[in-house]
Structure 1
Amino acid sequence: MSLDTIDRAILRVLQRQGRISNADLSTRVHLSPSACHRRVQRLEQAGFVRDYVALLDARKLGVSTTVFVEITLQGQSDEILEAFEAAVSKIPDVLECHLMAGSADYILKVVAESTEDFARIHRQHLTRLPGVAQMQSSFALRTVFKTTALPV
Structure 2
Amino acid sequence: MSNPLQLDRTDRRILELMQRHGRISNLELAERIGLSPSPCSRRVKALEEAGLIADHVTLLNANKLGLSLLAYIHISLDRHTPERFESFDAAINGFSEVLECDLITGTEADYQLKVIVRDMEHYQQFLLGKLTRLDGVTGVRSSFVLRRIKHETALPLEHLG
Q: Look up the match of 2:20.
A: 16
Match of 2:37 among 21, 33, 40: 33
Q: Look up the match of 1:140.
A: 145
3-state SS in 2 of match to 1:60 = helix
- State the distance in 1 between where 2:80 and 2:51 align: 31
Confirm or deny that 1:76 pairs with 2:80: yes
Q: Is the 8 A contact 1:16 1:149 kept in 2?
A: yes
TM-score normalised by length of structure 1:
0.97
1:97-108 equivalences in 2 (<5 Å) = 97-103=101-107, 104-108=109-113
1:2 CA drift (Å) = 2.2
Structure 1 stretches of 4+ moved >2 Å: none
Gaps of 5+ in 1: none
- Pairwise CA RMSD: 0.8
For 1:13-52, what per-residue CA distance to the aligned partner results, in whole angstroms no more than 9, with x for missing partners? 0011111000100011111111100000000111100100
- State the distance in 2 between where 1:76 and 1:27 align: 53
3-state SS in 2 of match to 1:50 = coil
- State the distance in 2 between where 1:129 and 1:95 align: 18
- State the distance in 2 between where 1:97 and 1:129 align: 15
Q: Look up the match of 2:51.
A: 47
Greater mean deviation of Cα atoms: 122-131 or 104-113: 122-131
TM-score normalised by length of structure 2:
0.92
- State the distance in 1 between where 2:90 and 2:106 align: 22
Number of aligned residues? 152
Confirm or deny that 1:4 pairs with 2:30: no
Q: Is the 8 A contact 1:93 1:110 kept in 2?
A: yes
- State the distance in 2 between where 1:34 and 1:54 align: 25
3-state SS in 2 of match to 1:108 = strand
Residue identity matched to 1:46: A
3-state SS in 1 of match to 2:57 = coil
1:130 CA drift (Å) = 2.1
- State the distance in 2 between where 1:46 and 1:30 align: 22
- State the distance in 1 between where 2:22 and 2:92 align: 29
- State the distance in 2 between where 1:102 and 1:116 align: 31
